[in-house]
């Protein structure tokens, strides 16, 4: 594939990486602007004021969960308990507007064979949410969080994996085209715990997801996978932060996206910090983008900050390429028409990622959704 550099890729020099503010109260944050590093790629004017932290809900999301043995789900009309502060006004604003927390618990020592599906359905209102996924000790599960319909939605997900626990969380953003969805997905890993976090962003006018990983004890493993497709006018942003603060932890980040159409915009920022005490860290991150047609913009910024040399490995890569004419010619020279050839190449681009995600239930859905979104234009 011809690699075209779409945007400058830079290693940002070390800076003070502790978020300046951590709070559950939106009033503790100044209103962000596009001059702030965290929002430099974000279309502030299209966030429907969610970044101001004081927008009131006009409705709610319909939440449904299938019954799976070993898992329990409840919506508690209380916000009690400890919770670490959020790092921006949007997430804190969402917290301040809700009066109930949805929580899914995977019970200790339970190895779920059936996938838990949490569907979150919007109905054109402004809504906020907090979903907790608690994986107790030595439990394992696959959870799909399925976002559909349309909404102006700020909803955070806190994923807590206790010692020895293991979870795959797939967050599907399969919104209608008018949705705005802003979220922090915070993963906390106990000793020898592992999490695979998958963000699949296909729909929505503006989607901005901030997955972060915090290691609470040594031996944690995090895999962060992303698959995104932005059509004309869509903004799909993923901003990751992996905080290696404990020894002998691993992280692996793979994000792949395709852009198609005028003003399609994707953003991937991968911040990985290896703190001085995080010896034995092994981390790698890669982002690949495929620009299908002109007028799109893919921003891709890996940041790797290393404060100790006593690590196993650390690396990153970023490529942005255009549809390769030689691939198209090759396929066409075998009788395959141009539309079909483009579909083959695009499907191929995502296919190995679906394998890595390893949740077969979503495969056909993702394939079909992408092809439907191509809308016969390709």
Minimum CB separation of residue 261 from another protein in Å reads 22
Smaller CB separation from another protein, 189 or 331: 331
Distances (CA, A) of 2 to 77, 79, 145, 234, 328: 53, 51, 35, 24, 12
Minimum CB separation of residue 345 from another protein in Å reads 6
Minimum CB separation of residue 234 from another protein in Å reads 23
Only one residue has tokens 């932290």, namely 53
Smaller CB separation from another protein, 14 or 348: 348
Only one residue has tokens 């911040």, namely 271
Minimum CB separation of residue 22 from another protein in Å reads 41
DSSP, residue by residue, 252-303? EEEEEEEE-STT-EEEEEEEEEE-TT-TT-EEEEEEEEEE-STT-EEEEEEE
Minimum CB separation of residue 4 from another protein in Å reads 16
How far from the centroid of its chain's Cα atoms is residue 185's Cα?
7
Smaller CB separation from another protein, 175 or 350: 350
Where along the sequence are the contacts to another protein (CB under 8 A)?
1, 324-327, 329-338, 340-341, 344-345, 347-352
Minimum CB separation of residue 334 from another protein in Å reads 4
Smaller CB separation from another protein, 309 or 335: 335
Smaller CB separation from another protein, 62 or 317: 317
d(CA 354, CA 349): 10
Minimum CB separation of residue 269 from another protein in Å reads 25
Residue 168 has phi, psi (to 5 degrees) of: -115, 120
Smaller CB separation from another protein, 310 or 352: 352
Neighbouring residues of 310: CB distance < 8 A, sequence distance ≥ 6: 279, 280
Between CA 129 and CA 138, with CA 132 as vertex, the angle to 5 degrees is: 165
Smaller CB separation from another protein, 335 or 376: 335
Burial class (CB in 10 A: 0-12, 13-18, 19+), 321: middle
Minimum CB separation of residue 355 from another protein in Å reads 10
Residue 199 has phi, psi (to 5 degrees) of: -115, 120
Smaller CB separation from another protein, 51 or 322: 322
Written as six digits, the tokens of 215 are 């290691």
How far from the centroid of its chain's Cα atoms is residue 25's Cα?
23
Minimum CB separation of residue 317 from another protein in Å reads 15
**H helices of the chain, where?**
89-97, 325-332, 338-357, 363-374
Give strand pairing partners of 225. 198, 254
What are the start-end ranges of the E strands in 90-173?
A: 101-106, 116-135, 140-161, 166-173
Smaller CB separation from another protein, 228 or 349: 349
């Amino acid at each position: 594939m011809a690699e075209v550099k779409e945007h400058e890729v830079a290693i940002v020099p070390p800076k003070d990486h502790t978020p300046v503010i951590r709070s559950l109260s939106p009033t503790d944050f100044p209103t962000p602007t596009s001059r702030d590093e965290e929002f430099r790629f974000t279309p502030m004017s299209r966030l429907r004021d969610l970044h101001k932290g004081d927008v009131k809900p006009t409705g709610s999301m319909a939440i449904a969960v299938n019954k799976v043995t070993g898992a329990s789900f409840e919506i508690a009309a209380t916000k009690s308990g400890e919770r670490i502060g959020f790092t921006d006004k949007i997430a804190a604003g969402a917290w301040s507007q809700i009066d109930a927390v949805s929580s899914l618990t995977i019970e200790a020592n339970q190895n779920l064979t059936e996938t838990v599906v949490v569907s979150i359905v919007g109905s054109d209102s402004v809504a906020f949410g907090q979903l907790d996924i608690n994986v107790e000790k030595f439990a394992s599960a696959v959870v799909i969080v399925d976002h559909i319909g349309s909404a102006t939605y700020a909803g955070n997900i806190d994923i807590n994996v206790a010692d020895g626990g293991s979870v795959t969380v797939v967050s599907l953003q399969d919104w209608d085209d008018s949705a705005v969805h802003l979220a922090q997905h915070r993963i906390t890993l106990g000793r020898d715990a592992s999490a695979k976090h998958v963000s699949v962003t296909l729909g929505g006018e503006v989607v901005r997801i901030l997955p972060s990983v915090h290691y609470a004890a040594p031996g944690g493993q995090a895999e962060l996978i992303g698959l995104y497709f932005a059509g004309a006018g869509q903004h799909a942003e993923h901003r990751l932060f992996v905080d290696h603060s404990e020894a002998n932890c691993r992280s692996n980040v793979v994000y792949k996206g395709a852009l198609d159409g005028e003003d399609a915009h994707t953003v991937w920022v991968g911040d990985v910090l290896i703190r001085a005490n995080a010896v034995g860290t092994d981390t790698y991150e890669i982002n690949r983008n495929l620009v299908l047609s002109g007028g799109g913009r893919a921003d891709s910024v890996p940041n790797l900050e290393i404060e100790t040399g006593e690590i196993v490995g650390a690396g990153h890569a970023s490529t942005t390429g255009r549809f390769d004419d030689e691939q198209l010619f090759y396929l066409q020279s075998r009788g395959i028409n141009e539309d079909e050839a483009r579909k083959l190449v695009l499907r191929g681009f995502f296919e190995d990622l679906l394998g890595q995600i390893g949740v077969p239930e979503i495969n056909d859905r993702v394939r079909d959704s992408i092809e439907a979104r191509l809308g016969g234009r390709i």
